[in-house]
Structure 1
Amino acid sequence: MVVFGGEGDGEMWGWRRPLRAWEEELLEECRLLINGVILQHNISDRWQWDSDYGGGYSVGGAYHHLTTQAEPPDVPLGDLIWHKQVPLKVSIFAWRLLRDRLPTKNHLFRRGIINSEACMCVTGCGMEETTSHLFIHCTTFGSLWHLIRSLIGMSGADPFNINDHFIQFIHSTGHSKARQSFLQLIWLLCVWVVWNERNNRLFNNIQTTVDNLADKVRFHSLWWLQANNANFMYGTQRWWSDPLFCLGLDRPLF
């Protein structure tokens, strides 16, 4: 489809009816995944089960692989990743992120998909794109955390490891479950926004300022809360000015 012009405005796509908004989002995710694939004429396409090179895939082998994997230390995934007000695709994305299984450039280089010169961060900061750099320490994307902390009235330093960052952001306040649930939603949303911005810069050559990324966090957090709570009646302006008040959490975090 790319060879025949499908890469441009999607002329090769054909649908029986107009796509809904959520379907367009899924299509965009599919397109981004396809853009990350490099086809080589001298190598045939094939599926490979990495857990057993000799015997190949089996249901028993897959079960053994899933049940013997070690969880990231001290990360209560069942309590933190799966949030009832967060879309499932975002929780699945976070599941991959905390296990360092996203196709970041350093992983693509190790697999021989890209060369070392293509490993640099999309922001132009001059550093290699690793998970911890992209989501925490990049001078561009890392500043999003400072803006979000300022918005919700909290402060703190960023740990080096993404798992530690997740735990600290949610639990460092030591307050009620309602506060922790809100911070959990915000953290999941922030990493989702960063990853989508990274893909837009890499594949679409579209850049968004950090201030606008913070606005996306504000908008989407409001939409998620409204979609799952019919009694949540606050509008955009009130939510932007004081999100903690809207949630009944207007006491200082520290």
Structure 2
Amino acid sequence: MVCDAVKGVWKGLVPHRIEVFVWLAILGKINTRHKLASIGILPIDQDVCPLCSSCPESSDHLLLHCEVSRQLWGWWLNLWDLKWVFPKSLSEAFAQWKLIKKGKKFFVKVWAASFFIIVWTVWKERNIRIFQASSSTVKDLRDLVLLRMGWWISGWEEGFPYSPSDIQRNPWCLEWEGVSRAADPAIIKPSYIPWSPPIKNVLKWNVDASVVISNTCAAIGGVLRNHEGKFVCLFSTPIPYMEINCAEILAIHRAISISSYSSLTKSASLLLESDSSNAVMWCNNDNGGPWNMMYYLNFIRSCRKEMISIEITHKGRSSNFVADSLAKQGLRRQDEFIAWL
């Protein structure tokens, strides 16, 4: 029965560590508060789900039956006009999930990957609430599911022509039938300069800003990756309407601020890339820049000299599409979104 429960986990559709986590979750072996309380590591009165604060935190409750989790599962099912009676356990849910063969060959893979991505997203949100005293809305979690789907599809070598931001704007593009958009003469396929990883033991931020003059709104975004290209942190933040170069300064400031206040990154060597040559110049100089951004520039200059090892460089937007996507998402947000991955 154990072998049957986890059959189909090892598909290579998501990073291996996430397959391992889902495998353990299906077997009921992850360290939830319920498990820790049952073996005496936590007091019984601390066995409470950090998402809903109303039930013991078993793996089945947290990942399947908690109201936050149910909303995430329900949203995904509604996207594809499907109805599902939630089973009793995560192992039963996985067994049922594998039986659904909706759509073409590519979407079958998307569907299989979605189980892992939703479970992982709920678990990461759980840890953020416990260890960082922060939380995301269900809307933020939906965006993160679609972002992760886009990131990991890029490793399938399927020729999928849509970016993570395309998926967020139109999730139904995941029903792609294998015909490249480049075959459509009305669509010009963009040429991207590939993202280049930092050297070992260096973390790399890519940041960007988005300003919409017609709606007088602005936002910033950024993504932090290690030398293997693995995502470490990302943020997407609405900001007051301002000139684009000022917004780019704010994006650099936010990335450095997050790094300087996190125990995971405050002592790390950082490389930060922005597509604003003006913002990079002002941040690297000891003076100059917009008068209304002096508070942020002085903070950046102080961190650059005293607090952490950081190099700020200019890089074109074509190699920075993830940060660009996160900045554009921030235009639709009410509050800041930060996720450690």
With structure 2 as the length reference, what TM-score do the two structures score?
Answer: 0.48
Q: Which residue matches 1:56? A: none
Aligned partner of 2:26 in structure 1 is 98
Match of residue 63 from structure 2: 135
CA RMSD of aligned residues (A): 2.2
5 Å-filtered alignment, 1:1-254, equals 71-72=1-2, 74-77=4-7, 80-173=8-101, 178-229=106-157, 231-240=159-168, 241=170, 242-248=172-178
C-alpha deviation, 1:182, in angstroms: 2.1
Inter-partner Cα distance in structure 1 for 2:158 and 2:90: 34
Structure 1 pair 222/76, CA: closer, same or farther in 2 (3 Å)? same
Question: Percent identity between the aligned chains?
Answer: 24
Structure 2 CA distance for aligned equivalents of residues 74 and 98 of structure 1: 11
DSSP-derived class of the 1:140 partner: helix
Number of residue equivalences: 177
Taking structure 1 as reference, are residues 129 and 247 closer, same or farther at Cα in structure 2, changes over 3 Å only? farther
Per the alignment, do residues 112 and 135 of structure 1 end up closer, same or farther by CA in structure 2, a change over 3 Å counting? same
Tell me the secondary structure at the aligned position of residue 67 of structure 2.
coil
CA change 1:73–1:226 in 2 (3 A) is: closer
Task: Report the AA paired with residue 173 of structure 2.
Answer: P
Whole-angstrom distance in 2 between the partners of 1:130 and 1:219: 27
Q: 1:157 to 1:243 in 2, by over 3 A?
A: farther
Greater RCO structure (CA 8 Å; 6+ sep):
1
Deviation at 1:146, TM superposition (A): 0.5
Residues 196/218 of structure 1: CA separation in 2 closer, same or farther (3 Å cut): same
| Equivalent AA in structure 2 for residue 181 of structure 1 | K
Change (3 A) 1:169 1:86: same
Structure 1: how far apart are the matches of 2:177 and 2:116? Answer: 18
Segments of 5+ residues of structure 2 without an aligned counterpart are 180-341
* Shift, 1:73, TM fit: 6.0
TM-superposed deviation, 1:87: 0.4
Contact 2:149 2:164 in 1 (8 A): no
Structure 2 CA distance for partners of 1:110 and 1:212, relative to 1, 3 Å: same
Matching residue of 1:33: none
Distance 2:71 2:145 in 1: 14
Q: Deviations over 1:97-142 (max 9, x none)?
A: 1111100011101111000110011024411101111011111222
Q: Distance in 2 between matches of 1:197 and 1:153?
A: 26
Query: Once the two structures are superposed, what CA deviation does each residue of 1:27-64 show, in whole Å capped at 9, x if it has no partner?
Result: xxxxxxxxxxxxxxxxxxxxxxxxxxxxxxxxxxxxxx
* Aligned AA (2:146): R
| Change beyond 3 A, Cα 1:98–1:177 | farther
Mapped to 1, the partners of 2:127 and 2:113 lie a distance apart of 21
Q: For 1:75, what is the secondary structure of its paired residue?
A: helix
Q: In the aligned structure 2, how far is the partner of 1:182 from the partner of 1:172?
A: 12
Q: Which moved more, 1:154-163 or 1:107-116?
A: 154-163
Contact 1:152 1:244 in 2 (8 A): no
Partners in 1 of 2:60 and 2:85 — Cα distance? 14
Please tell me whether Structure 1 or Structure 2 has the larger radius of gyration of its CA atoms.
Answer: 2
Please identify which structure carries the higher strand content. Answer: 2
Distance 1:174 1:164, change over 3 A: farther
Name whichever structure is richer in helix by fraction.
1
C-alpha contact 1:171 1:180 (8 A) present in aligned 2? no
Instruction: Label 1:172 to 1:230 Cα distance change in 2 as closer, same or farther (>3 A).
Output: closer
Contiguous gaps of at least 5 residues in structure 1: 1-70, 250-254
Once residues 88 and 173 of structure 2 are traced to their aligned partners in structure 1, the CA distance between those partners, rounded to angstroms, is 28
Query: 2: CA distance between counterparts of 1:206 and 1:184?
Result: 29
SS at match of 1:123: coil
